[in-house]
Amino acid sequence: MLNKGCPCATRILFERCVEVKMTAGIFKRYGIYPGRGLLTPSKFSNNAFPNMMSMSSSTREDYLEALCILSRKSPQLPTVRDLAVHLSLDPSELEEHLDIMEHDGDIQLLPGERIRLTEKGLETGTRVMKKHQVLARFLSEVLGMDPGAASEEACILEHDISDETYQRLDWYIRRPRRRGHRMQMGRPNLPTLIQFPEGTDLKVLSVRCPGGCERLSDMGIFPGERIKIIHTLNNKAVVVQVKGCDIALSPEIASCIFVEKSE
C-alpha cells in the first residue's frame, strides 16, 4: 500500500492515473504535480477526484465545429467563455470536456483560457461544419423548410450522415439547373440583396447560384446567416459584411442571394 504522504507516492499515483487516461489538467486543478510537495491523506479522500466524464462523439463534434466557427469570426483565438456563449452553456460545464479533448489531441489549452485547434481538431471541425452547411441548404432550398428550422435539423443530422451521402447532397445542390427548374419550393418572389439599401441588416433565406454556391458557403454566405449591406455601387454590385469581414459581390451573384430583413 502506498504511503500517501510520501513524495514518491505522488509520482506513482500521478503516473498510474495517466495510464487510465485521466488528463494532467485534472491533477493541476487540484494542485497535484509529480515529484512536488507532500500530499496528506485528506487530499486523497474519495471526493478528491471527480469521475472523468464520458464524451460522446456528437458532443465532441459540436465543440470542434463551434471552435471552427469562432476562429473564422475573429483573428484572435477563442476563449473558454466564447465557446460557452456559443454553445449556451456555463463555462464551468466545459472544463471536463476540454481536458478530455486536449488529452486526445483535438485542442491546446493556452494561457488566458484561450483554445487552439490542433490539425486533427481543425480537420474534424471543418468537416462537421461543411456537413451542417450542406444539410441546411438542402433542407431550406430544396425541401422549402424555414432556414432556422433547417439549421436546427442540420445540427442533429450532421453527426450521423455518411461522407458519401454528404458528398452526393453537396453535388446535388451545386449542380447546374435546367432552365425553368425551381430549386426552392414554396418561397416565390423572394427579394434579393440588390433590392435593399446600404446599412440594412438581412438574413439569408436561399442561395441559387449555379456553380458558385460552394464558394459563397465557404465565405459564410448560406441560409440562416445574418449579413449587412455596407455599400452599394452604381452597377448594383454590393459590399456586404459577414462575420466581421467585408465581401464584394457582383450584381450577378448578389441577385442570386435571396434575403429578408433581420429582426
- State the DSSP string of 238-249: EEEEETTEEEEE
Q: Are 53 and 33 in contact (CB under 8 A)?
A: no
State how far the Cα of 205 lies from the Cα of 222, in Å rounded to an integer.
Answer: 8
Instruction: Give the closest residue to 64 by CA, choosing from 88, 89, 87, 36.
Output: 87
For 55-175, give the CATH class: mainly alpha
> Looking at domain 193-261, what is its CATH homologous superfamily?
Ferrous iron transport protein A (FeoA) (2.30.30.90)
The helix, strand and coil proportions of the chain, stated in percent and rounded to the nearest 5, come to: 45, 15, 40
**Residue keyed to cell 431550406:** 140
Q: Are 5 and 41 in contact (CB under 8 A)?
A: yes
Q: Are 262 and 201 in contact (CB under 8 A)?
A: yes
State how far the Cα of 223 lies from the Cα of 225, in Å rounded to an integer.
Answer: 6
Q: What torsion do the CA atoms of 222, 223, 225, 231 make, to the nearest 10 degrees? A: 70
CATH 1.10.10.10 boundaries in the chain: 55-175
CATH 2.30.30.90 boundaries in the chain: 193-261
Most confident segment among 37-41, 196-200, 250-254: 196-200
Residue 234: per-residue pLDDT? 80
Residue 103, burial from CB neighbour count under 10 angstroms (0-12, 13-18, 19+): middle
Strand partners, 227: 202
Overall pTM surpassing 0.75 (yes/no): no
The confidence band for 193, taking pLDDT boundaries of 50, 70 and 90, is confident
What confidence tens digit (pLDDT) does each residue in 45-78 have?
A: 334 444 455 789 999 999 999 999 999 888 899 9
What confidence tens digit (pLDDT) does each residue in 109-122 have?
A: 999 999 999 999 99
State how far the Cα of 9 lies from the Cα of 34, in Å rounded to an integer.
Answer: 9
In 128-167, the DSSP E strands lie at none
Residue 141: per-residue pLDDT? 78
Strand partners, 201: 228
**Residue keyed to cell 481543425:** 122
